[in-house]
Amino acid sequence: MTIQYHDVFRRSLSDPEGFWAEAAESVHWFRRWNRVLDRSHALFYRWFEGGVLNTCYNCLDRHVDAGRGEQAALIYDSPVTATKRRLSYRELRDRVAVFAGALRRQGVVAGDRVVIYMPMIPEAVVAMLACARLGAIHSVVFGGFAPRELATRIDDARPKLIVSASCGIEPNRVVEYKPLLDQAIEMSSARPERCIIVQRPQAQAMLKPVRDVEWQDAIDNAPPAECVPVAATAPLYILYTSGTTGVPKGVVRDNGGHAAALTWSMKHIYGVEPGEAYWAASDIGWVVGHSYIVYGPLLRGCTTVLYEGKPVGTPDPGAFWRVASEHRVNVLFTAPTALRAIKREDPAGAYIKRYDLSAFRTLFLAGERCDPDTLLWAGRVLDRPVIDHWWQTETGWAIAANCAGLGMLPVKPGSAGAAVPGYDVRVLDDAGSSVPAGTIGNLVIHLPLPPGCLPTLWNNDEGYRQSYLSQFEGCYATSDAGYIDDEGYVFVMSRTDDIINVAGHRLSTGGIEEVISAHPDVAECAVVGAADALKGEVPLGLVVLKAGANRPGETIVKELIGRVRENIGPVAAFKTAVIVDRLPKTRSGKILRGTIKRIADGAEYAVPATIDDPAILDEIKRSLGQVGYARGGKPSA
């Protein structure tokens, strides 16, 4: 394929309004826009002002109307319940229309908020699309979130209704959601009028009279609802992300810019065509699930896979390859941490050879930085292009990538690729001045942000300005640190608060992790800056070894220290690494480096609501205590 990237990128920045007007032709509009980009409110840009559309119509009805109703829209694959189900575009549209009718019968209208607190089941996707059909605003909260965290989101969104399920299912346990939901509502000041509950056979929820309605009862005899036209600038959803004050930030996504950007991204970043199978191995509670389990593939007319399982343990490290083979997946998108888990259990890639992956052509990674060793390993065992790319909850789609649909550039391991068309990515020092190529600094995006990115925070314009727009004039601060090389490749090294200062030298923990991860016995690692009386901070490493690594831990640690000294230099002052069985992570797979640092420093630390397994923090504290850290710190109340 001819590489079109450079010409497309230049045009996207020189003529953004023409570029995105052309992209928006792939979307069905009930009424076209008055202005492609409304610049009338300083810093608060709006795309496709005056346009009217419906996102659900673009995801479902238009494909049925075009004669493709029998194509598979959604494949549900649940190894934890031994269930597989296929829904065509017509079947999914009809289910969504009926549930939208059920919501309307409960009083939900355009502009109302609906909180969705559900596991990875088809009803969750139906609920999201039904809200979009009515012009209601959904706010999905990861199923199983702690009651207090759920309560803060309920209070901020003030939903008319909550959709939930009786339980979620982990490989070795059933997590009952209803008691958590009841506790959250009791804690809330904005209690919903109604809750609709999916009763799963693995656990029956106790329903509260009047307030709670079983899903099946809600949809019985509900008249199908039509698609409600809404303004392009009207909110489609709110997705909460952690705030520095402890109050979650409600990232708003609009309808028009979102539909245009995601449709464009499916073709040009991921290189998928209508009718092909696309699988984002994530959860609908995270932005990846919103963008690329639900909306992106359906906007493009693809088949999307909804997977209720794990990369390993359901039942083995071949789980992903089994799904890709059975459902003829063309493009897979997952997190580096999932790949590292597979690599740890199957370092030779033996499970891959069990499956027919002839339809599979590209693996995309995002969620946190992918170390070069893992990327190169995946490329070797899969014999397919493996592409790391970078984006955020706030942007909703990729900031930097290697765009498969524009003719792939050469892959540089360690880089997230080049800036995606529409994004003007720059690197600034703390004073706001540009830095030379190859110099680590603050990664920012010059305004305006392209369509699909957040236009503001829910009911909090000032919080949006303060959090993202106040640090560097005319720029959105990503809070990521990195550099751009002389060929335009973006290297995201760490969060800005993961740049450590060792005796006056600024070092990236990501750079040290890269060196450690390249060791043949290392499955994954995390490096944090631990407080040091002499140097200010020193790097401290936590290391998980590959299955089958049987050499003495002391030997491996000495080799790691030597590698960092050789590759980064004595200035790194890397002298301590601890071998642990596992790292603390969020349910989406991000390593909780900030929590590790607080434990190491002996500071009081919170147990994050997003943590996959809270018990691991005690294990980390014990391990760090054995090397002289973690003295005095304890979980906050």
Express each pLDDT in 277-307 by its tens digit: 999 999 999 999 999 999 999 999 999 999 9
Res 369: pLDDT: 81
Res 624: pLDDT: 93
Residue 504 pLDDT > 70: no
Residue 117 pLDDT > 90: yes
Most confident of 241-255, 472-486, 520-534: 472-486
Residue 246 pLDDT > 60: no
Q: Are strands 475-484 and 490-495 parallel, antiparallel or unpaired?
A: antiparallel
Res 510: pLDDT: 81
Res 497: pLDDT: 65
pLDDT in tens, 260-274: 999 999 999 999 999
pLDDT-derived band of residue 533, with 50, 70 and 90 as boundaries? confident
505 neighbors 499 (Cβ within 8 angstroms): no
Residue 563 pLDDT > 70: yes
User: How much is the pTM?
Assistant: 0.86
The pLDDT of 172-199, averaged and rounded, is: 95
Q: Which residue has the tokens 């199957």?
A: 346
Res 2: pLDDT: 82
Res 201: pLDDT: 97
The pLDDT of 460-480, averaged and rounded, is: 95
Domain with CATH 3.30.300.30 in the chain: 503-625
pLDDT-derived band of residue 503, with 50, 70 and 90 as boundaries? low
More confident residue, 144 or 393: 393
Tokens in use for 561? Answer: 């220290």
192 neighbors 161 (Cβ within 8 angstroms): yes
Res 1: pLDDT: 65
608 neighbors 592 (Cβ within 8 angstroms): yes
Say what percent of the chain tops pLDDT 90: 81
Phi, psi of 264 (to 5 degrees): -60, -40
- The per-residue pLDDT of the chain, averaged, comes to 93
Residue 505 pLDDT > 70: no
The C-alpha angle with vertex 125 and arms to 22 and 129, in degrees rounded to 5, equals 50
- Nearest in space to 159 (alpha carbons), one of 180, 183, 177, 185: 185
Whole-angstrom Cα distance, residue 533 to residue 550? 36
The pLDDT of 522-538, averaged and rounded, is: 87
Could you tell me the CATH superfamily of domain 5-309+389-482? Answer: ANL, N-terminal domain (3.40.50.12780)
CATH 3.40.50.2030 at 503-625, yes or no: no
Is 508 in a helix, a strand, or coil? strand
Q: Which residue has the tokens 């059975």?
A: 326
Residue 37 pLDDT > 70: yes
Question: CA torsion sign, 526 to 529 to 532 to 538?
Answer: positive
pLDDT in tens, 566-601: 888 777 889 999 999 999 988 777 888 889 998 999
More confident residue, 357 or 549: 357
More confident residue, 244 or 102: 102
* Cα 243 to Cα 3, 19, 247, 398, 564, distances in angstroms: 40, 34, 5, 22, 34
Whole-angstrom Cα distance, residue 234 to residue 555? 59
pLDDT-derived band of residue 123, with 50, 70 and 90 as boundaries? very high
pLDDT-derived band of residue 554, with 50, 70 and 90 as boundaries? very high
Residue 561 pLDDT > 70: yes
pLDDT-derived band of residue 516, with 50, 70 and 90 as boundaries? very high
Res 148: pLDDT: 85
Domain with CATH 3.40.50.12780 in the chain: 5-309+389-482
Residue 636 pLDDT > 70: no
More confident residue, 569 or 538: 538
Res 547: pLDDT: 87
The pLDDT of 512-535, averaged and rounded, is: 89
In this structure, the dihedral spanned by the alpha carbons of residues 505, 580, 390 and 599, taken in order and rounded to 10 degrees, is -60
pLDDT-derived band of residue 5, with 50, 70 and 90 as boundaries? very high
Whole-angstrom Cα distance, residue 68 to residue 60? 10
